Chain A
């Protein structure tokens, strides 16, 4: 509406000269807008949407990519034990990691929120460091901390008489280790988000709750959590997507080993598709990430449209 008014005004200013200028301004505006968004549209269409659908096509070809085999790749996958292990490990990995990231982020955000305001900046700055370091680089540090013969953790534990822990050698410990590193990397992000959310909760609500005699748990349960519900939902959803599609940490820390026990979809797809040269099978494996993405996308879309209608 304001736009329309504007055009009328703009047209009015030049009205003295040419009568057809209104039409020209209109035409120019949408043309200009189109050319401004054209690179974006091209990029999204050619390099995101097209490959996404292309992988659907690839998944129906045989290994040499000359013959259409329908759902043959999926049939083959369903019969393989490793595939089901990867499914299981991906779910365990993503869900456990996200739960702990959210919990630790929530707790640490409260501690930071508790300390005097002028110290908060310093703590916040320090605690966000894991998120800033490129994950491939920081995972190298973890790999070295977990080294079978020179592990710095085992050196400390040995002082307490606890035997050497096979951090990346044993299947269960390796699964624990990749989750630990992922939590270490992701928790600071939650901390920042929840700290921002905590600051936006009006202080009066806590005062009112305190006057009504609420203890700390009731304040948390009836004031903080309801106020933060939206931000918690959206960060958990985001993190679920990112963690489910994680690649760097598992690749660098265990490369899927020992005996494929820590593979998740992305690392297994890489192993099969790029390293093993079976592009169609790799594409089929990575397609299994789509359902969780679709579910998350629906929820996020609902959130966006709801917020849009609120405004």
Chain B
């Protein structure tokens, strides 16, 4: 009876069908609406950085519409990119980040290979332990490290504090555990037959690593490299605590300590500096987004 009514009620069924697709259409429209809202929220600060970076300090202090540039100028960029100080910061940052990436890879790739393929006594514990050390934050370690470096200076005369290369010593503590962890994941996904074949053909372990594993796990290697680079480029606490002389500073600390002087905030230049400081990670992200995201999600999904 009821089912008869249902069967005969062709129109009702049709309307119901239409309402589902109409629901979908509305859901899509609402999705776009909210996505635009969230995109505005997420992109507002970088956009505002860009707007301010194009203004002269006269225009900024005149308090005109903050969201619009009346007389766009590149003078802030020209001034910063020709200032020796800013170029020193940039050069320090670039040097530290590149060297840290190299150090990180030299430590973590062989270690990940050994931990994932050459089972030895305690290797599983070590792998888990490496991951746990990743959870120890820099904010817990900077005070003991500071003291350790000053004691080291007293004992051996090796000056680490207030030298840019102190960062080469401490940054790997942030990058190596995570990079090792994601490389273990990538190496573990390589079929065992591949390295067995290599070993049967008489390859040494080192050859297996450099000729088989590194080429096959290249996407993972790129993701780990990006991670190490962005972490060292963005790190703020260690350079702030360990370096003070103006010629030893890296970019984030340099901008904050040198451009903000007392009560005089030259916001046009600060925003330009911040934007230029954000540029390298943003450019890497723009070109290698998939690798970047793979590295980001590897930690949680592969673990």
A275 — nearest CB in chain B belongs to which residue? B241
Given contacts A123-B35, A138-B278, contact A40 B144 (CB under 8 A): no
- Cβ B139 vs Cβ A293 within 8 A: no
Query: Which one of A28, A41, A47, A126 lies within 8 Å of B172 (CB-CB)?
Result: A47
- Cβ B137 vs Cβ A144 within 8 A: no
Least distance between B200 CB and chain A CB atoms (Å): 6
Least distance between B244 CB and chain A CB atoms (Å): 10
- Cβ A47 vs Cβ B143 within 8 A: no
Tell me which residues across on chain A come within 8 A of B17, comparing CB atoms: none
Query: Which one of A137, A251, A282 lies within 8 Å of B277 (CB-CB)?
Result: A137
B128 — nearest CB in chain A belongs to which residue? A304
Given contacts A54-B147, A242-B137, contact A36 B237 (CB under 8 A): no
Tell me which residues across on chain A come within 8 A of B121, comparing CB atoms: 30
- Cβ A125 vs Cβ B46 within 8 A: no
- Cβ B147 vs Cβ A279 within 8 A: yes
Query: Which one of A34, A54, A141 lies within 8 Å of B120 (CB-CB)?
Result: A34
Given contacts A133-B46, A134-B281, A301-B132, contact A55 B143 (CB under 8 A): yes
Please tell me which stretch of A6-14, A69-77, A164-172, A219-227 contacts chain B, meaning at least 4 of its Cβ atoms lie within 8 angstroms of it: A6-14
- Cβ A115 vs Cβ B278 within 8 A: no
Tell me which residues across on chain A come within 8 A of B138, comparing CB atoms: 245, 247
Q: Which size bracket describes the interface of B in this complex?
A: 35 or more
Tell me which residues across on chain B come within 8 A of A130, comparing CB atoms: 42, 45
Given contacts A150-B66, A301-B132, contact A112 B170 (CB under 8 A): no
A196 at the interface (CB under 8 A from B): yes
Given contacts A129-B282, A140-B271, A286-B143, contact A134 B234 (CB under 8 A): yes
Query: Which one of A47, A134, A138, A252 lies within 8 Å of B173 (CB-CB)?
Result: A47
Q: Which residues, 49 to 75 on A, are CB-close (under 8 Å) to B?
A: 49-52, 54-55, 58, 65
Q: Which residues, 189 to 210 on B, are CB-close (under 8 Å) to A?
A: 192, 196, 199-200, 202, 205-206
Tell me which residues across on chain A come within 8 A of B289, comparing CB atoms: 121, 125, 128
User: Considering the chains assembled together, what is the distance between the CA atoms of A167 and B177 in angstroms?
Assistant: 38
Query: Which one of A2, A47, A252, A296 lies within 8 Å of B145 (CB-CB)?
Result: A47
Please tell me which stretch of A80-88, A91-99, A201-209, A263-271 contacts chain B, meaning at least 4 of its Cβ atoms lie within 8 angstroms of it: A263-271
Q: Which A residues fall within an 8 A CB radius of B?
A: 2-3, 6, 9-10, 13, 28-30, 32-34, 36-37, 39-41, 43-44, 47-52, 54-55, 58, 65, 104, 107-108, 110-112, 114-115, 121, 123-138, 140-142, 144-145, 147, 149-150, 152, 155-156, 184, 187-189, 192-193, 196, 231, 234-235, 238, 241-242, 245-248, 251-252, 265-266, 269-270, 273-274, 279, 282-283, 286-287, 289-290, 293, 296-297, 300-301, 303-305, 307
Q: Which B residues fall within an 8 A CB radius of A?
A: 27-28, 31-32, 34-35, 38-39, 41-46, 48-49, 52, 60, 63, 65-67, 106-108, 110-111, 113-115, 118-121, 123, 126, 128-133, 135-148, 169-170, 172-173, 176-177, 180, 192, 196, 199-200, 202, 205-206, 230, 233-234, 236-237, 240-241, 252-253, 255-256, 265, 267, 270-271, 274-275, 277-278, 281-282, 285-286, 289, 292-293, 296-297, 300-301, 303
